[in-house]
Amino acid sequence: MTSTFEHGLAPNEANHVPLSPLSFLKRAAQVYPERDAVVYGERRYSYRQLHQRSRALASALEHVGVRPGERVAILAPNVPEMLEAHYGVPGAGAVLVCINIRLEARSIAFILRHCAAKVLICDREFGPVVRQALALLDSPPLLVGIDDSQAEGPAHDLDCSLDYESFLAQGDPGRPLTAPQNEWQSIAINYTSGTTGDPKGVVLHHRGAYLNACAGALIFQLGPRSVYLWTLPMFHCNGWSHTWAVTLSGGTHVCLRKVQADAIHAAIAEHGVTHLSAAPVVMSMLIHAEHGNSATPSTSVSVITGGAAPPSAVIAAMEARGFSITHAYGMTESYGPSTLCLWQPGIDELPLEARARFMSRQGVAHPMLEEATVLDMDTGRPVPADGATLGELVVRGNTVMKGYLDNPQATRDALADGWLHTGDLAVLHPDGYVEIKDRAKDIIISGGENISSLEIEEVLYQHPSVIEAAVVARPDARWGETPHAFVTLREDALADISGDDLIRWCRERLAHFKAPRHVSLMPLPKTATGKIQKFVLREWARQQETADTGS
Ligand code: ADP
């Protein structure tokens, strides 16, 4: 019951505004109207223009009949239209569905059908696969094509009735973006990779997007002088909410169509990039690309890494090249980053190797998340903070998804007992920092002992000739499972280093039972976000075992 002295203190328009990242663009357009908001090749838009173009998009969507709460999908690489969609679509009251550009037709069709998309905005390079996907649908969405001059393939590939610029021209750039009436209103649906079964649609709300963007801007120290290079796909967790965080800070978004070492180094030099985000494999690519002196940026570039565990050797190599690394951990279900390995007094004084080892921990809850901890999988109680006892990493707070679209059982399971269950196995250190040892399904059980695949990878990455490494369980008649390492070596080492050399390298640094028994030297299969596809490697390891033993 409200106490008498709080009488008449209900929220009203003066003191309560539903939280939404749409406010960031409105403010940036007021405070920095002429500042470069978006740079892409020859194209440049100021914040005034980004605001106008986003408003025109909202208006055009409304004209073609998109109603509040309906879904608008986009399938495009990191081009300016992707950013506009992050404002124009929710600004029409609609829900944004970014689709992974590496998906095949069947999955694209599944997503469009599952979210009942009214409109699909599509980059023409993906015309052929999108045509196949639309052919699988009974009621395909309206197709709007982005005709980017940097796209590969012929312009007629998409063959759609509307091109993006004409579509925008139908809209009113003066129409204000529609702020949500309720901050719990959905802003985006992001589909998980669905390596087992169909993808699940993670539903996010305006409030969480606002708060996660605030956390991102804080932990990344973004400001109006920031120049952010888009090396992380915007379709992945809305670019870890940086699509909104950079605008919040009034910084510049530098779009990049393809994530290649040359293009990244060139953009850093040309645009004075201050910040970028990169999965560990992208950092490995930067380290091993042959760039002579250009591998070292002239000013320090802040990098948030995450999406997979960054080996400490990779962190150290990046830091030695002048990049300043922040390690974050998260999931699509948590709007991207939810924990980070926060700086502590004394860290800077540590030798590089020890510092990198510390930085490879997943850390503590970010400022907008309520809690992150590790629970015993049997009792559901917190594990002791001893850096050794394994449990499940769980998080809770305002930057956790609403749930999965149209999937109440999966939602209940993921959010059971008041926590988001990550499925990642971790330990809690005495200082309260968590460290992931494996995904639950990646842990190797050999002779009844748990072996962390990440621990073996950590040692492999310390080898100077190793570019990438992934370790998976290989079935074994005697031990149940044994570690099988898949490794990509530097070209110049191929003639000199063998799988046996790498096994010896591991045996010298690890308990013998943890050292891989098999090593395959080859390029590793990856997802669109640069994650190594361990499920593919597990299958290869299984097939090799069958071929070798005939069982
Ligand atoms: P997917 O499940 O499709 O890979 P996500 O991007 O949501 O999609 O992946 C989240 C998972 O990625 C986490 O559960 C975790 O296993 C892994 N991950 C993300 N960041 C890190 C990190 N910093 N360290 C270790 N693992 C990470």
In terms of Cβ atoms closer than 10 Å to its own Cβ (0-12, 13-18, 19+), residue 544 is middle
The H-or-E segment that residue 362 falls in is none
Give residues (CB < 6 A) around ligand 1: 192-193, 306-309, 327, 329-332, 362, 422-424, 436, 439, 531
The rounded mean pLDDT for the chain is 93
Q: Which of 233, 232, 235 is nearest to 189 (CA)?
A: 235
335: CA distance to ligand 1 center in Å? 12
Q: What is the mean pLDDT of residues 98-110?
A: 93
**Closest protein CA for atom 17 of ligand 1:** 308
- pLDDT of 1 over the 90 cut: no
- Taking the C-alpha atoms of residue 245 and residue 226, their distance in angstroms, rounded to an integer, is 11
Class of domain 443-549: alpha beta
- Taking the C-alpha atoms of residue 85 and residue 121, their distance in angstroms, rounded to an integer, is 9
516: CA distance to ligand 1 center in Å? 23
200: CA distance to ligand 1 center in Å? 15
Q: What are phi and psi of 541, to 5 degrees?
A: -65, -40
Work out which ligand 1 atom sits closest to the CA atom of 237: 6
Determine the residue type at 270: E
Q: Which of 268, 223, 230 is nearest to 248 (CA)?
A: 223
CB atoms under 10 Å from CB of 507, counted, come to 14
- pLDDT of 53 over the 50 cut: yes
- Taking the C-alpha atoms of residue 221 and residue 159, their distance in angstroms, rounded to an integer, is 43
- Taking the C-alpha atoms of residue 338 and residue 366, their distance in angstroms, rounded to an integer, is 6
Q: What is the pLDDT of residues 354-412, one digit of tens each?
A: 999 999 999 999 999 999 999 999 999 999 999 999 999 999 999 999 999 999 999 99
Determine the residue type at 522: M
Residue 105: partners with Cβ closer than 8 Å, 6 or more residues away: 129, 130, 132, 133, 136
418: CA distance to ligand 1 center in Å? 20
4: CA distance to ligand 1 center in Å? 49
pLDDT attached to residue 220: 95
pLDDT attached to residue 312: 95
Q: What is the pLDDT of residues 240-268, one digit of tens each?
A: 999 999 999 999 999 999 999 999 999 99
pLDDT attached to residue 52: 98
pLDDT attached to residue 290: 63
At residue 273 the predicted structure's pLDDT band, cuts being 50, 70 and 90, is: very high
pLDDT attached to residue 4: 78
- pLDDT of 224 over the 80 cut: yes
pLDDT attached to residue 339: 98
- pLDDT of 216 over the 50 cut: yes
CATH 3.40.50.980, applies to 22-217: yes
Residue span(s) of the chain under CATH 3.40.50.980 come to: 22-217
- pLDDT of 291 over the 60 cut: no
455: CA distance to ligand 1 center in Å? 17
pLDDT attached to residue 187: 98
pLDDT attached to residue 295: 56
- Taking the C-alpha atoms of residue 530 and residue 524, their distance in angstroms, rounded to an integer, is 10
Residues 209, 24 contacting (CB under 8 angstroms)? no
Pocket test for ligand 1, best of 111, 331, 438 (most atoms within 8 A of CB): 331
Q: Which of 447, 470, 443, 473 is nearest to 539 (CA)?
A: 473
334: CA distance to ligand 1 center in Å? 10
**Closest protein CA for atom 5 of ligand 1:** 331
Give the 3-state secondary structure of residue 521.
Answer: strand
Of 37-41, 464-468, 501-505, 524-528, the range with the lowest mean pLDDT is 524-528
Residue span(s) of the chain under CATH 3.30.300.30 come to: 443-549
Work out which ligand 1 atom sits closest to the CA atom of 362: 23
pLDDT attached to residue 9: 93
Of 167-176, 407-416, 421-430, 529-538, the range with the lowest mean pLDDT is 529-538
- Taking the C-alpha atoms of residue 373 and residue 427, their distance in angstroms, rounded to an integer, is 9
- pLDDT of 551 over the 90 cut: no
Residue span(s) of the chain under CATH 3.40.50.12780 come to: 259-440
pLDDT attached to residue 293: 47
**Closest protein CA for atom 20 of ligand 1:** 307
**Closest protein CA for atom 11 of ligand 1:** 331
Say which residue, 198 or 470, is predicted with more confidence: 470
264: CA distance to ligand 1 center in Å? 23
The DSSP line for 385-449 is SSS---EEEEEEETTS--EETT-HHHHHHHTGGGSEEEEEEEEE-TTS-EEEEEEGGG-EEETTE
Q: Where are the beta strands (DSSP E) in 157-280?
A: 162-163, 186-191, 201-205, 227-229, 252-254, 275-278
No. of H helices and E strands in the chain?
17, 26
pTM of the prediction? 0.92
Strands 252-254 and 275-278: unpaired
Q: What is the mean pLDDT of residues 302-315?
A: 94
Q: What is the mean pLDDT of residues 4-16?
A: 91
Residues 144, 171 contacting (CB under 8 angstroms)? no
pLDDT attached to residue 527: 76
Pocket test for ligand 1, best of 202, 424, 442 (most atoms within 8 A of CB): 424
Q: What is the pLDDT of residues 161-200, one digit of tens each?
A: 799 999 999 999 999 999 999 999 999 999 987 655 778 9
At residue 488 the predicted structure's pLDDT band, cuts being 50, 70 and 90, is: very high
Percent of the chain, pLDDT > 90?
83
307: CA distance to ligand 1 center in Å? 5
Q: Where are the beta strands (DSSP E) in 51-127?
A: 71-75, 95-98, 117-123
259-440 has which CATH code? 3.40.50.12780
Q: What is the mean pLDDT of residues 217-224?
A: 97
The answer for 380, left when phi > 0, alpha when psi is -120 to 50, beta otherwise, is: left
pLDDT attached to residue 292: 53
How far, rounded to the nearest angstrom, does the alpha carbon of residue 539 sit from its chain's CA centroid? 25
The DSSP call for residue 194 is: -
Pocket test for ligand 1, best of 329, 342, 362 (most atoms within 8 A of CB): 329
- pLDDT of 335 over the 50 cut: yes
